[in-house]
Amino acid sequence: MSLASDHITPTPVAQPSAGEVRDFVTLLKPRVMSLVIFTALVGLVRAPDAIHPVLAGVALLSIAIGAGASGALNMWWDADIDAIMTRTRGRPIPAGRVTPGEALAFGLVLSVGSVIVLGLTANLLAAGLLAFTIFFYAVVYSMWLKRWTVQNIVIGGAAGAFPPMIGWAAVTGHVSLESILLFLIIFFWTPPHFWALALLKSDDYARAGVPMLPVVSGPDETRRQILIYSIILAPLGVAPWLFGMTGLGYGLASIGLSAVFLLLAVRVWRERTGEAAKTAARQLFAFSILYLFALFAVLLVEAMMAGWI
Amino acid sequence: MPEPENSIVMTDDQKRRQRRRNIAIGVALAALVVIFYAVTIVKIGGQIANRSF
């Protein structure tokens, strides 16, 4: 005879958090954050108006924290995928060091806090753009697009493209052509950058069931799409100079960098098998990081030399 | 006083981690105080004593 009490499981006792401070820092995706800080800084210093350095610093911090918060929300939502992929299985939630609830609370508090601080420090447009960026990355990209469409990276890339526009809006209170160009450069840079990585890691994405382009449409179609986006990106990279918004230094740098980007994209398109194909994808991925960093660095240096900072 | 049944008894490692998290939260809150103070001063600007009401 079984007793009723045999079927009653004891009430689980909440376990204390196992998270170190560095685990919560990891939730903010520090490497993505560093790129956000850098591109937002360029937006801030390229803006034609002036802003007090203290306000600029706090605005930059708010944008960085907002971006980090969206990263934490992304890790909360994607914990099941992260546990499967080798690249991400060591993240704090799948590794069991931070509970999903902690990550969610952490992301939400920082999201709301960063938007409020940016609104108080700069203006409502910048705060609104930051709120939209967090929403776009955490909800539109992470919850909706990433697992649903092969265009996840293309549309979701907008989230990473907003920071320079937010920086610009924090100073001027509006959005203008140059800030839109900075947005477009990052927007069209994102697909070839991520697809080059996806070509190398397609097994990982396939195992996790994420419909990345190489998984759904195959590597050849991915190579074709990388080339198309690179062809669009190259003139966009040069556009700030063509529109007379930058000096000759940026013009020459952007032409050279865009030419190399195109060359590497063509190589990815042509080299389709064996180690040569992997090397081509790896080179394009590595150069794409340098490309974006160098373009924005030249913009920053030009602004500093012009005494805008 | 004896520990009540089902209460959480933290190990030394858990206590250490909790202390570090508490310190980090404290530092973040202190930084927020400094930030709000600095932003307020900058927003108010100079000549605050000479403003007409």
* pLDDT digit string, tens, across residues B25-34: 999 999 999 9
B interface with A, Cβ–Cβ below 8 Å: 6-8, 10, 14, 17-18, 20-21, 23-24, 35, 38-39, 42-43
Contacts of B23 in chain A (CB under 8 A): 21
Q: Which residues contact A53 (CB under 8 A, 6 or more apart)?
A: none
A55 — contact with chain B (CB < 8 Å)?
yes
pLDDT at residue number A109: 97
Query: CA-CA distance, A233 to A179, in Å (whole number)?
Result: 16
Nearest CB partner across the interface for B14, out of A10, A16, A58: A16
Quick check: B51 pLDDT over 80? no
Residue B50: the pLDDT is: 66
The predicted pLDDT at position A187 comes to: 96
The pLDDT value given to residue A288: 97
Check whether B3 has a pLDDT greater than 70: no
Q: In this model, does residue B14 exceed pLDDT 90? A: no
Q: Measured between CB atoms, does A112 come within 8 Å of chain B?
A: no
Question: What is the separation of C-alpha A94 from the centre of its chain, rounded to a whole number of angstroms?
Answer: 21
Nearest Cα residue to A240 out of A291, A181, A188: A181
Which stretches within chain A are classed as H helix? Answer: 21-27, 30-46, 53-77, 79-84, 100-121, 124-135, 152-161, 163-172, 177-200, 202-208, 213-216, 219-242, 248-270, 274-305
pLDDT digits (tens, 9 = 90+) for A272-291: 888 999 999 999 999 999 99
* Beta-carbon contacts of residue B34 (< 8 Å; ≥ 6 apart): none
User: If we measure between CA atoms, which residue out of A288, A289, A305, A287 comes closest to residue A250?
Assistant: A305
> pTM, whole model, 2 decimals?
0.88
User: Which residues of chain A fall below pLDDT 70?
Assistant: 1-14, 307-309
How many other CB atoms are there within 10 angstroms of residue A306's CB atom?
Answer: 12
**Helix B12-44, helix A100-121: angle, nearest 10:** 10
All residues of chain A having their beta carbon less than 8 Å from the beta carbon of residue B18 are 16-17
Minimum-distance CB partner of B39 among A10, A21, A120: A120
Tens digits of residue pLDDT in A217-252: 999 999 999 999 999 999 999 999 999 999 999 999
